[in-house]
A and B are shown apart, each in its own frame.
Chain A
Amino acid sequence: MAVDRFPIEEGAILTFARAIGDPNPIYSDRDYAAASEVGAVLAPPTFVQASAHFDPDYPLRPQIGAPWFGSGQAPTGREPAAGGGTGLHAEQHYTYHRPLVAGEVLAATTRFGDSWEKEGRSGNLRFSETITEYRTPDGELVVTARSVGVMTERPVAWEG
């Protein structure tokens, strides 16, 4: 993933905070935020996920005019991985170098980290790590994100 321009917008923060069910006025009230220690509408801790909107190649967003793997009149989509496995999010870790506030613009670059395998309840599990750095146009590092994804051999057991 590479995102050249990720604007941190008040409206996007408002809808993100609603989606995670967090009524803290620091995410929606300009006057409250202006009088706070951070001094502006603050991005919630996991807000940088929304940089996906600005990734031109993000695979989990329908592209205009291109086939999409969700259902329409009938189930459609890519064939699931052999045996019915699924790509899932296993871990997410953030380091905040300073607070991120509305009005800023960041860029994001992602590199691959480690990968490993283990046996689990859903068969062989293949883990892979990516590290994304979010920086200002001056190169100041604001957030570092480490994500671990897992590709399962079968659908993950949902009982018990």
Chain B
Amino acid sequence: MALRAGELSVGDVREAVLVDGLTRTQVVQYAGASGDFNPLHSDEVYAREVAGYPGVFAHGMLTMGMTGRILTDWVGDGRLVRYGVRFVKQVWPGDTLTARAEVTAVKADETPPVAEFSVVTTNQHGAQVLVGAGAARLDP
């Protein structure tokens, strides 16, 4: 359901666990769905022995995709007007990710009204892996 401008206030917060112990299989699912088959994300031998990482890690875009839900579950389907992120830290198999969104502005006088949000996704160590922002169209 879409939100009305009066239902949101600056400082309102939502949190959700996005994934509890990310699996390599889900990373492979994302490779297939997105078409990004970079072996860094699915090929342990390549990631370790050619690229010099301890193993495969998730696509940043998988974390961005998972994080989007903290906004879309809140503002309603088809209501986002902007969504942007910076990838801060890699996400590894086994990681548990929690997203937090906070209302940073409610522009009730605009047509249509718009709410702005900050988003942060952290791993099980409390380290930020993604920071970003979004904006959504509200009902008057």
Give A contacts to B, CB under 8 Å.
12, 15-16, 18-22, 24, 26, 36-38, 42, 44-46, 49-53, 58, 60-62, 68-71, 75-77, 80, 84, 86, 88-96, 99, 146, 154-156, 158
Contacts and interface: CB of A to CB of B under 8 A. Distances in A.
B14 to A, nearest CB: 15
Nearest to A73: B45
Interface stretch (B5-13, B83-91, B101-109, B110-118): B83-91
A84 B42 CA distance: 19
A44 B45 CA distance: 32
B65 A69 contact: no
A46 B76 contact: no
Nearest to B54: A158
A46 B73 CA distance: 15
The residue in B40, B49, B50, B59 that gathers the most chain A C-beta atoms within 10 A of its C-beta is B50
A94 B46 CA distance: 31
Given A20-B66, A94-B83, A158 B36 contact: no
B84 A93 contact: yes
A19 B26 contact: yes
A49 B92 CA distance: 21
Interface of B: 2, 18-19, 26, 29-30, 32-40, 42-43, 45-46, 49-54, 59-62, 64-66, 68-69, 71-73, 76-78, 80-87, 90, 92
Contacts of B84: 91-94, 146
Given A21-B66, A71-B45, A92-B85, A26 B50 contact: no
A60 B36 contact: yes
A69 B43 CA distance: 10
B33 A96 contact: no
Nearest to B63: A20
A16 B34 contact: yes
A77 B50 CA distance: 7
A46 B32 contact: no
A12 B38 CA distance: 19
Contact of A21 (B18, B38, B78, B81): B18
A21 B72 CA distance: 13
Contact of A89 (B50, B61, B69): B61
B51 A86 contact: yes
Nearest to B38: A60
A80 B51 contact: yes
Listed from nearest, the 7 A-B pairs whose CB atoms lie closest are: A93-B84, A99-B78, A70-B39, A52-B35, A20-B65, A71-B45, A19-B33
